[in-house]
Structure 1
Amino acid sequence: MNDQTIQAIVAELAPALVGRSMGKVFQLSRLTLAIDFRTGDSRYLFISIEPQPAPRLYLIERRVRDLEKQSLAPTSFIMTLYKRLAGARLISLLKDEGERVVRFVFTAEDVIGQERQYTLVAQLTGRASNLLLLDENDYVIDALRTPRGEGQEIADKYQPPPAQGLPAPSGSPLERGTHASLSEAADAFYRQLDAERAFNSRAAAARARLRKEITQRVKLRRHLENDLQEHGEAEEHKRIGDLLLANLATAVRRGGVVALTDYYAEDALTIELEIDEQATLQEEAARRFKRYTKARRAAEEIARRLSELEQEVAALHAQEERLESIIAASDAAALETFFEQDRKRAPQAQHKKRAAESVPGARRYLSSDGYEILVGRAARDNDHLTFRVARPHDLWLHAADYPGSHVVVLNPTRKEIPHRTIIEAAQLAAAFSQARRDSKVNVHYTQRKFLSKPKGAAPGLVRMSSFRSLTVEPQEKLERI
């Protein structure tokens, strides 16, 4: 607010408020108040010292239940106002000449019935804006914001803040236009500004959330594509196994090296292969076939997950386009329910067993290394997650000696899970347990294949035949996906 607008607002406030007593104070935000002066017409003095969009004051018309619904718990400054000004009568309302400072002067009786004078100063000075309570000698009793600078600190004799070298707000003063009063015009203007700022903030948050979800999936896709390349030698393991069996009678073995005829080659060349000196050719062939089966299954699982990721990324890009349309149309209602609508529209996953969305009550996260982490909720959800969703080589975690969620790190490639991912999953296991308020929590972890369910046991109970432990701080630092 510029100097002219503040002067005009003060001229409008004075006849409405002077002579009236101060009633309830509503703390609408950390730096915004609404004060009841018992006008009897649902009007309240609105004071905001928020630097953005601007420090301001004027009368607003609101229902008391709306103010109560919006109010925060009173701060120490509000309690000071109640202590000094409860029932106090406003005797003057003035603006300092050439300053964006407004003084509300009150008289009130102290505890022994003696009349005291207090001044509530609305300092509408940009970044130095504040609301201060002064005693009858203009010494600072308390302030809404932590005061800084000479004449601003508690127990200082008050003086307005020095000019900061920046131009004061300029432009034409706010005009009434079609509104009944300047306060009504100011209220409408700033409510519109607040709505626009809130919309822009929600829009930026929605954009960031979508970008993050896309980035997470692209990162996971990159990890899976690298893993798929590593499993590309599955057929080579099978070929070697077949050659070992085909050469049982003709192979020439020298310690850990065996010479085989490669019947798959055009000229049936002889190849040399390093094998375990202690293993027979049949045992080496069996080992190769086992590696072939494992690599083939892993490759199939990776290919399936890559296909799912492609669909998810495409769906997220479609969401981005829809979001931009909503933002361009300034559709606040659609933006408010944007992610909720997309959850309703999302098709059911085809692979229900592994899709996190099909696990009742499961929370879903992505580790820093690109591994999916599932966290159960209730006991039956834990049972379903551990014994229906998790596969033998997935990692399972649980807070030691405390009831809590089962946590599963999906490991479709069956590779060693990075220690950082194990730490992040353990922090989730600790955070979603009854030990969540402890500074450090011991967490057990093991592969799913080492778990069993005792006969007749209650939902969520498991038996571990082998496990390791680590100590972590309970944290939910990973965002849900």
Structure 2
Amino acid sequence: MPFDGGFLHKIAQELEPMIGARVDKIGQPNRDCIVLHLHNRGPVRRLVILAGAAPRLHFSAIPIEYPATPPMFCLLLRKHLGGGRLTAVSQQGLDRVLTLHFEATNELGDRAKFRLICELMGRQGNLILVGENGKVIDALHRVDFAASESRPLLSGLEYCYPPRQEKLDLTMTSALDAADRLLSGPDLPLSKALLAVLEGASPLICRELSFRIAPGDPPISALSPVQRATISAVLGEWGAALAPGGGTPLLLGGEKSDFTFLPQTQYEGTAVNQTPYPTCSELLEEFYRLKTGSEGVKLAGEGLRKQVSSLHERLLRKRAVRLQELEKSAGRDQLRLYGDLLSANLYRLEKGMTALTCEDYTAEPPYPTITIPLDARLTPSRNVQKYYTEYRKAANAEAVLRRLIAECEEEITYIESVQEALRRATTEGDLLEIREELRQQGYLKTLTPKGQKPLQKRRGGTLPPLRYRSSDGYTILCGRNNLQNDQLTLKTAHGSDLWFHIQKQPGSHVILLTNGTPLEDLPDQTIEEAAMLAACNSSGRESSRVPIDYTLVKNIKKPNGARPGMVIYETYYTMLTTPDHAAAQNLLEK
């Protein structure tokens, strides 16, 4: 369900005990998120306000890392609200607009009142700081007259709340009045009629209320007298859930991913499970952690992906240019031939000649004639020397070009392995480790802003490798990135453990911890599962019959100066396997 006005109403109730709290700190971890640290007779609580594509507001227990240089809107909030106190929380009916009222000290040292208005509706939420005079101080997302003639949000303009729809707020209206409005309205399917009448009710809530009144979502005109009589009682249940202490925060899982605070009878007997949570804030945090984990990481890593993709394209262009140069240098043998033939015919040469036609004695008889261009300004011997010099330059260039092309191809292989790690990244920690790897390799020299610690020195350190348990009870480890691949293969694993990797393509190093069991005594199913995991964590994860090489760890060598994740091996077996992501998920240790 979207973050509807009813759910915001429950969050506002959770905020009530924080009235009087002091604003200890204000942070802005990204362009769409503001975090207020509130202290009120207990531990400091973080109030997270997201005004992005999925706007919402809730308390968070997860530590949040802020950039070294705060954005301008964050500095503005610190200036006006820092050290102030939260004095009230108000909502516009059951609309998705919540106002946080503050009292703080202004620049003159006088007490001043401010409103931080959280507009959490639509595809793009917004935060607006309004002064005591009712005028906008600034907005997180400014709206000029070109974007909205009716509601521009710019500094100095009078603030007006978004217009509310003509719906009924059940915290202010009786269930009987709401039932009368419903029955006298258009003849729509019951859930749609409820959606048109009730303020703050999402489609999920309206479908549940419709189910409680008349399963099957019939139109209003098809309701029986008994069903019509139950409307006010069911609407009363919704009103009771909205009241303080009412409702139960529920996370819906299984066949449906959603959240609500109204128990869902419509899913009883289905594969949808309902997990209760102590508070709506905890419910929201878990729901969006599960829902937007991979999506959030995808967005967070978009800039890094573009950087790596640009680097990959640049390397491909560089290789193409060098291959063209190498092709040109392939004509050096012709230069040497010209030099040899000129030497043999030196007696025929005179200064001022522009060409010499002679027989090519290096060919099979009858000897063909060949015309050799000459520089008329040079003596005969200098013309001979010129061709030998050009030949030596071309030969040297070929050696250099072959070395540069080999280095370029090695770098392309490495960057493709980084791209593969980015495709498999599922957490911000994964992205941090990949950034750190690129920084160590010199690709991101400005990765760590001044004042921030490198990844290894930050609290919590690096992420552990993915850990699986085979059907026979063996532990299987999988590197998340190239740095972890090196750590696993070269330091964690023992020589008797088994190493798996997709053949000649980017992918994770997978280690089967054998605990000293000889290869011939290992269960076939465990070996097959390890190979399947190597396929799932590789560039071949969407293919079938993926070739996986495996060998003892003691057979793996890392050349001096090789990039992270790059190893060589000569003795190995190869197995064809098909990735099974559902099976891989079942083997993953929780």
Mark yes or no: TM-score above 0.5.
Answer: yes
Matches of 2:369 and 2:129, distance apart in 1: 94
Aligned to 2:378, what secondary structure does the other structure show? Answer: coil
1:271-420 equivalent positions in 2, closer than 5 A: 271-321=370-420, 324=423, 326-327=424-425, 330=426, 333-338=429-434
In the TM superposition, what whole-angstrom CA distance separates every residue of 1:175-217 from its partner, at most 9, and x where no partner exists? 4644321122223334555644442235545554544343223
Aligned residue type for 1:4: G
Aligned to 2:98, what secondary structure does the other structure show? Answer: strand
Q: In structure 2, what is the equivalent of residue 436 of structure 1? A: none
Matches of 2:111 and 2:300, distance apart in 1: 50
**2:259 aligned with 1:160, yes or no?**
no
Q: In structure 1, what is the equivalent of residue 95 of structure 2? A: 99
Matches of 1:333 and 1:200, distance apart in 2: 12
Matches of 1:115 and 1:250, distance apart in 2: 105
Residues 220 and 120 of structure 1: CA distance in aligned 2, closer, same or farther (over 3 Å):
closer
In the TM superposition, what whole-angstrom CA distance separates every residue of 1:112-134 from its partner, at most 9, and x where no partner exists? 99987654432223425223324
Shift of 1:230: 1.8
Q: In structure 2, what is the equivalent of residue 239 of structure 1? A: 337
Aligned residue type for 2:93: E
* Alpha-carbon contact 1:140-1:156 (below 8 Å) kept: yes
What is the identity percentage for the equivalent residue pairs of Structure 1 and Structure 2? Answer: 20
Aligned residue type for 1:292: Y
Where structure 1 has 5 or more consecutive residues not aligned to the other structure, the ranges are 345-356, 365-481
**1:263 pairs with 361, 375, 396, which one?**
361
Q: In structure 1, what is the equivalent of residue 70 of structure 2? A: 72
Residues 335 and 211 of structure 1: CA distance in aligned 2, closer, same or farther (over 3 Å):
same
In the TM superposition, what whole-angstrom CA distance separates every residue of 1:125-154 from its partner, at most 9, and x where no partner exists? 34252233242x644455454354556444
* Alpha-carbon contact 2:326-2:401 (below 8 Å) kept: yes
Matches of 2:60 and 2:342, distance apart in 1: 89
Aligned to 2:331, what secondary structure does the other structure show? Answer: helix
Residues 26 and 261 of structure 1: CA distance in aligned 2, closer, same or farther (over 3 Å):
same
1:112-261 equivalent positions in 2, closer than 5 A: 118-126=114-122, 127=124, 129-135=126-132, 138-146=134-142, 148=144, 150=150, 152-162=153-163, 170-172=202-204, 174-175=259-260, 177-192=275-290, 195-201=293-299, 204-205=302-303, 207-250=305-348, 255-261=353-359
**1:9 pairs with 4, 8, 11, which one?**
11
Aligned residue type for 2:117: V
Shift of 1:289: 0.9
Aligned residue type for 2:159: Y
Shift of 1:296: 1.4
Matches of 1:89 and 1:206, distance apart in 2: 39
Matches of 1:252 and 1:109, distance apart in 2: 98
Aligned to 1:131, what secondary structure does the other structure show? Answer: strand
- TM-score normalised by length of structure 1: 0.57
In the TM superposition, what whole-angstrom CA distance separates every residue of 1:372-415 from its partner, at most 9, and x where no partner exists? xxxxxxxxxxxxxxxxxxxxxxxxxxxxxxxxxxxxxxxxxxxx
Residues 209 and 140 of structure 1: CA distance in aligned 2, closer, same or farther (over 3 Å):
closer
Shift of 1:62: 6.8
Aligned to 1:102, what secondary structure does the other structure show? Answer: strand
Matches of 1:183 and 1:98, distance apart in 2: 18
- TM-score normalised by length of structure 2: 0.47
In the TM superposition, what whole-angstrom CA distance separates every residue of 1:8-51 from its partner, at most 9, and x where no partner exists? 1112322x133x25432412345544445532222436252422
Matches of 2:67 and 2:417, distance apart in 1: 37
Aligned to 1:23, what secondary structure does the other structure show? Answer: strand
Matches of 1:106 and 1:156, distance apart in 2: 20
Shift of 1:252: 8.4
Shift of 1:290: 1.0
Shift of 1:76: 2.4
Shift of 1:224: 1.4
Shift of 1:237: 1.5
* Alpha-carbon contact 2:38-2:45 (below 8 Å) kept: yes
Residues 169 and 205 of structure 1: CA distance in aligned 2, closer, same or farther (over 3 Å):
farther
Aligned residue type for 1:55: P
Residues 286 and 125 of structure 1: CA distance in aligned 2, closer, same or farther (over 3 Å):
same
Matches of 1:68 and 1:323, distance apart in 2: 22
Matches of 1:58 and 1:362, distance apart in 2: 38
Shift of 1:2: 1.0
* Alpha-carbon contact 2:355-2:374 (below 8 Å) kept: yes
Aligned residue type for 2:407: E
Give the CA RMSD over aligned residues.
4.3
* Alpha-carbon contact 1:120-1:134 (below 8 Å) kept: no
Shift of 1:5: 0.6
Matches of 1:322 and 1:114, distance apart in 2: 54
Shift of 1:96: 0.9
Residues 108 and 227 of structure 1: CA distance in aligned 2, closer, same or farther (over 3 Å):
closer
Residues 279 and 104 of structure 1: CA distance in aligned 2, closer, same or farther (over 3 Å):
closer
Residues 147 and 81 of structure 1: CA distance in aligned 2, closer, same or farther (over 3 Å):
farther
Shift of 1:313: 3.3
* Alpha-carbon contact 1:27-1:33 (below 8 Å) kept: yes
Aligned residue type for 2:26: F
Q: In structure 1, what is the equivalent of residue 249 of structure 2? A: none
Shift of 1:6: 0.7
Q: In structure 2, what is the equivalent of residue 404 of structure 1? A: none
Aligned residue type for 1:307: A
Residues 21 and 331 of structure 1: CA distance in aligned 2, closer, same or farther (over 3 Å):
closer
Shift of 1:275: 1.7
* Alpha-carbon contact 2:97-2:121 (below 8 Å) kept: yes
Aligned to 1:282, what secondary structure does the other structure show? Answer: helix
Matches of 1:318 and 1:117, distance apart in 2: 55
Matches of 2:416 and 2:110, distance apart in 1: 70
